[in-house]
A = this chain, B = another copy of it.
Amino acid sequence: MSGDPRYLVIGAGNGGKAMAAHLALMGFQASLYNRTPDHTAAIKARGGIDLESYEGGPRGFGKLSLVTSDIVEALQGADIVMVVTPSTAHADIARISAPYLRDGQIIILHPGRTCGAIEFQKALCDVNCAARVTIAEAETFIYASRSDGPAQARIFRIKDAVPLAALPATCTHEVLKAIQSAYPQYIDGINVLHTGLNNMGAIFHPALTILNAGRIESTHGDYQFYIEGVTPAVARVLEVLDRERVTVAASLGIRARTAMEWLEMAYGSTGADLYEAIQNQSGYYGIRAPATLNHRYIFEDVPMSLVPIAALAQHYGVSLRGIDSIIRLACIIHRTDYWRRGRTLEKLGIEHLSVSELTHYVSEGNRDW
């Protein structure tokens, strides 16, 4: 398959394994990097990953060209780097990759959560990375997947259309073109503020966890996260948080999708209000709650999604009383300062930008750090 891009998948969680196996089964040269070698020992021994999926979906043995925990070796033979880790790892991945990146490489965050590409680019600049790479982020992860064993993956669903944006957006077309042969599903996400502010997990995950905190901890998550966890009152809170997110977006000149619009677009689910629309989403049936509050729904979604949304709001003069409350309770529950750990504008290096400067930066780039 000469001429085809060579992929590196970073992160061997269930998402990374599904993607690596699927790429290999599609005929692409695919390698897999994971920081901790233990997690990929079985894959390395077997030389690849066994993939299962839905009827008519991809399946078989996905032979990988390389399985490594050496970032130098990993980046060497890669044209496109697919980062499939929790977003809390994005900045670290940028720092360890920076010395070994080459001109022309493309790095895609799956997904970026909110401001992932901006944080990644800032981290590269902070260590004076000279390589001219293109950074992009997907609005959401393309697969619904699970891991059935150390060298196994299972895909439940591949999404039809996933917005993706490069930083700056003038490079989005180049990225879409590069991955088109593997992933025609990605579509133009306008810019990384759009992909970052259309982050529905930011609205759903932390609030649903916190408004069911006692239940998660006392039952170890023995209930349906959406179907039983979203009641009319809980949905009212989600609606307010969602309105706040859309308002922050509006303050940046962005028309973000509401959660209702997203449920209809992604799942064809509608209703008189958010409660009904969620209850009508049949895909939510059977999804269990997390077994513990020590879960990425808080420790990832609060610092990497809600904090940057709240930081943008604060800077551009929008009051987010609901989102602030959720962040505060998350800080208390986890006894940590998610503002300090999270993507603040200072950490993203955008604390001095006006709205038009920020828009220019994500659209066309060319800013001095």
Residues of A within 8 A of B (CB): 208, 210-215, 217-218, 223, 228-234, 236-237, 240, 293, 321-322, 324-326, 328-329, 332-333, 335
DSSP class of A's interface residues: helix, strand, loop or mixed? helix
In the assembled complex, the Cα of A326 lies from the Cα of B326 at a distance in Å of 9
Q: How far is the CB of A208 from chain B (nearest CB, A)?
A: 7
In the assembled complex, the Cα of A234 lies from the Cα of B209 at a distance in Å of 12
Q: Which 7 A-B pairs have the closest CB atoms?
A: A217-B231, A325-B325, A215-B215, A212-B214, A211-B213, A214-B229, A325-B328
In the assembled complex, the Cα of A326 lies from the Cα of B321 at a distance in Å of 11
**How many copies of this chain does one complex carry?**
2
Q: How far is the CB of A310 from chain B (nearest CB, A)?
A: 13
B211 x A231 contact (CB < 8 A): no
B240 x A332 contact (CB < 8 A): yes
A228 x B240 contact (CB < 8 A): no
Q: How far is the CB of A195 from chain B (nearest CB, A)?
A: 27
**Smallest Cβ-Cβ distance to A240: which chain B residue:** B332
CB-defined contacts of A229 to chain B, threshold 8 Å: 214, 218
In the assembled complex, the Cα of A49 lies from the Cα of B211 at a distance in Å of 41
A-B CB contact pairs (8 Å), 8 listed: A211-B211, A211-B213, A212-B214, A214-B215, A233-B333, A237-B329, A237-B332, A324-B325
CB-defined contacts of A293 to chain B, threshold 8 Å: 233
